[in-house]
Amino acid sequence: MSRTPLDTVEHAAATPDVELPWAELGLKKDEYEKVVEILGRRPTGAELAMYSVMWSEHCSYKSSKVHLRQFGEKAPQSDALLVGIGENAGVVDVGQGYAVTFKVESHNHPSYVEPYQGAATGVGGIVRDIIAMGARPVAVVDPLRFGAADHPDTKRVLPGVVAGIGGYGNCLGLPNIGGEVVFDSCYQGNPLVNAGAIGVMRHEDIHLAKASGAGNKVILYGARTGGDGIGGASILASETFDDAKPSKRPAVQVGDPFQEKLLIECTLEAFQEKLVVGIQDLGAAGLSCATSELASNGSGGMRVTLDDVPLRDSTLSPEEILMSESQERMCAVVEPEKVDRFLEICAKWDVIATVIGEVTDGDRLEIYWHGGKIVDVDPRTVAHEGPVYERPYARPSWQDELQADDANKLPRPETSAELKDQVLKLVASPNQASKSWITSQYDHFVQGNTVLAQPEDSGMIRVDESTGLGVAIATDGNGRYTKLDPYAGAQLALAEAYRNVATTGAKPLAVSDCLNFGSPEDPAVMWQFAEAVRGLADACQQLGTPVTGGNVSLYNQTGEVAIHPTPVVAVLGVIDDVARRTPVAFQEEGQLLYLLGDTREEFGGSAWSQVVHDHLGGLPPAVDLERERLLAEILISASRDGMIDSAHDLSDGGLIQAVVESALLGGKGARLIVPDGLDAFTFLLSESAGRAVVAVPRSEEVRFNDMCGARGLPATRIGVVDGTVSDSNAVVDVQGEFTLTLDELREAHEGTIPALLA
């Protein structure tokens, strides 16, 4: 586009025939025509930049919106919800005057291109969302998915991603308390790098992204604006990487965690002095997003002088400044008489802060450059009234065949020796193996409030030192289950995260999700998406846990092949007193092991079917949400009343996986007896949902059994914490089947990941 003369609004009106590169900026023809229709003229270059980036899939949710509405329509009544979907992050009441904000987002595509910076800036972005709500960030979690563990490219992507998450999060002083690491060849060209964060504030400190009050100043503060990540939002997230076309991949943004740490501290200090009317972080779509969202959510308009934006690169064009995704920047709306104090606080923290505009009493967003008006738009049309697509969707033709390929019919181990071998193979497989090589690269102690961190079932943070109030968070998602049945798979993801929170003794309150799928232009993928959203919305309604926000990541595919549909669900819970939390590790020999819930022959999508048979087929485990709720209530009551000393949820890998983890973490063995009515294989390896294994002190057995009996939860005694042959050589023993020493199990379970990646 020509910038001589400057492409002002007047110039655009006078030169209707100038061709603009709308297609190169990712807009479809009809979308461009809609922009022209809204404006009543052709857009200026700057306006086109804004519309293109804000109407991208990543920012506008144009393909997913029609489905996501269900989260609002089916939202359960919840007194806990203070701020719902649509803000930077949802906010939940956790009692005692505290509010907690949390959210999960994706940074998938950038992390494949540039693993370290992609993952690092993913952490940075989610943390700014949390600060923008008025909260002090207190923890992060990272659900990650990579290609096959032994694929050479995984060795490029994974260490970079892990180092990036650690490098950024550790430097910010945020404990990393949870998440997942999953390997599957379906993620080979599309690793999923999701990042979640939690923040804590007092109720009265909640802030929103809106610009109100004519005359109030708009202050841009934080890092200078540079050329990194220009167009990232619209181009990276909208198209697959096509080797044949000339690359238009822009640079992935570069993170500066030190700058972000200063941004956290100076923002919180400004909040504390009540200097801020509205606030928005700059993430995807940079200033285009921040200015249009602030203006459209507020009561007035906004005038911005782009010349005042501090630049890292003085050659940037106004379009580039508007699209830049330079990290560590925020935008605050401040009353004129408080501007000096705000700038003073920024100076104290050596943070650059500049007044770049003000709130007007009109309803237009006007942006000036070199004295000319280069943007004059209704901000709502940019931020909220983008295109909405009802993409066609259809159940794929292969779905029936996939479900008919029943995993329950796979050959099972015929002898005890074979069963033992398969168990050992399973606990050593990359997905089931210990991830401590990864998690030991994250600081989980900083801030001094970490009660539980990975590999516990959920991370737990103390919120109030005097009362012991705390919050717990777990993230889960199983792409294999979801591939077999998207509706059930999404519900199973929620059920598992819900169960994980309850297993530690916390009461599940609310949900955030990160929905990772392939191309919405493929009706089969769109069907998976529609089914998963419907399943998740239905399940949230039934469990009483509203979705407070989240993120959709589409176009996760290589060529025609999409990833497994992978909804990652985060559940936040509250616990009155963190002293009551239940850990995974076995605590004391002699305690009785109880299996809670029903075990059926359910192997579809199981870890066993993958590890032993490299198989994916059949149906995922049956979902029973009422049972999940009952199980959660029992786990929470048992924790509160001191009836259990350890607990572990059962999920992928089944009972034996859970027992081995509890044994290794506690350094104590277990002696198991196969209950009547079950064969050893099903007992150990089935992945039936709605189950947990708990260790009950002998003195509590009667009381615990009475409670389960009275409330109708099946509780089966399956053994004891014990297995000690000699002091140094504890075992996991399955009576009549096999015995494995903790040394053997530790070598299998803990050796795999370092051998592959170190």
Partner 1 sequence: MTARIGVVTFPGSLDDRDTQRAIRLAGAEPVALWHKDKDLKQVDAVVLPGGFSYGDYLRAGAISRFSPVMETVIEQAKAGLPVLGICNGFQILTEAHLLPGGMLGNDHLHFICRDQKLRVENAETCWTSDYTAGQEISIPLKNMDGRYVADQYTLDKLEAEGRVAFRYLARGEAADGYGNPNGSLNDIAGITNEAGNVVGLMPHPEHAVEPLVGTGRTDGLPFFTSILKKLVNV
Residues that bind partner 1 (CB under 8 A): 163, 166-167, 170-173, 256-259, 261-262, 348-350, 436, 439-451, 462, 465, 468, 578-579, 746, 750, 758
Nearer CB in complex with partner 1: 320/750: 750
Nearest to 543 by CA among 108, 158, 78: 78
Four-residue CA torsion sign, 135, 136, 141, 144? positive
Element containing residue 634 per DSSP (H, E):
helix 625-640
Q: Is 58 a catalytic residue?
A: yes
181 CB neighbour count, 10 Å cutoff:
22
Pure H helices in 298-440: 318-323, 339-348, 379-383, 399-404, 416-428, 436-439
Closest separation in Å from C-beta 442 to partner 1: 6
Nearer CB in complex with partner 1: 537/574: 574
Closest separation in Å from C-beta 290 to partner 1: 24
**What is the C-alpha separation between 472 and 463, in angstroms, rounded?**
10
Tokens of 142: 């990272």
Closest separation in Å from C-beta 262 to partner 1: 6
Nearer CB in complex with partner 1: 641/743: 743
Closest separation in Å from C-beta 163 to partner 1: 7
Question: Per the residue annotation, which of 11, 67, 107, 109 is the catalytic one?
Answer: 107
Tell me the CB-side half-sphere exposure of residue 690, using CA atoms within 13 A. 21
Closest separation in Å from C-beta 199 to partner 1: 16
Is 48 within 8 Å of 9 (Cβ atoms)?
A: no
Nearer CB in complex with partner 1: 387/455: 455
Nearer CB in complex with partner 1: 170/548: 170
Ramachandran bin of 513, using left for φ above 0, alpha for ψ from -120 to 50, beta for the remaining angles: beta
**What is the C-alpha separation between 167 and 142, in angstroms, rounded?**
13
Interhelix angle for 742-757 vs 416-428, to 10°? 40
Distances (CA, A) of 391 to 107, 415, 521, 626: 24, 51, 7, 33
Tokens of 529: 């998406």
**What is the C-alpha separation between 199 and 626, in angstroms, rounded?**
30
Four-residue CA torsion sign, 552, 554, 556, 561? positive
Burial of 662 (0-12, 13-18, 19+ CB in 10 A): buried
Nearer CB in complex with partner 1: 126/138: 138
Nearer CB in complex with partner 1: 86/754: 754
φ, ψ dihedrals at 645, nearest 5°: -110, -20
Closest separation in Å from C-beta 424 to partner 1: 18
Nearest to 662 by CA among 503, 508, 505: 503
Is 291 within 8 Å of 367 (Cβ atoms)?
A: yes
φ, ψ dihedrals at 627, nearest 5°: -65, -40
Four-residue CA torsion sign, 450, 454, 460, 463? positive
Is 277 within 8 Å of 302 (Cβ atoms)?
A: no
**What is the C-alpha separation between 388 and 744, in angstroms, rounded?**
56
Nearer CB in complex with partner 1: 491/639: 639
Tracing tokens 């080797």 back to the chain, one arrives at 243
Question: Per the residue annotation, which of 11, 58, 109, 207 is the catalytic one?
Answer: 58
Four-residue CA torsion sign, 363, 367, 372, 374? negative
Closest separation in Å from C-beta 468 to partner 1: 8
Closest separation in Å from C-beta 254 to partner 1: 13
Interhelix angle for 523-543 vs 486-503, to 10°? 40
Closest separation in Å from C-beta 355 to partner 1: 23
Nearer CB in complex with partner 1: 709/754: 754
Nearer CB in complex with partner 1: 152/448: 448
Tokens of 679: 């064969």
Closest separation in Å from C-beta 755 to partner 1: 14
Nearer CB in complex with partner 1: 247/728: 728
**What is the C-alpha separation between 283 and 288, in angstroms, rounded?**
10
Nearer CB in complex with partner 1: 148/171: 171
Nearest to 201 by CA among 124, 114, 351, 91: 91
Nearer CB in complex with partner 1: 461/547: 461
**SS3 labels along 91-123:** EEEEECCEEEEEEEEECHHHHHHCHHHHHHHHH
Alpha carbon of residue 744 to chain centroid = 34
End-to-end CA distance of the chain: 49
Burial of 242 (0-12, 13-18, 19+ CB in 10 A): exposed
740, β-bridge pairs = 732
Helix (H, G, I), strand (E, B) or coil at 161: helix
Catalytic residues: 58, 107
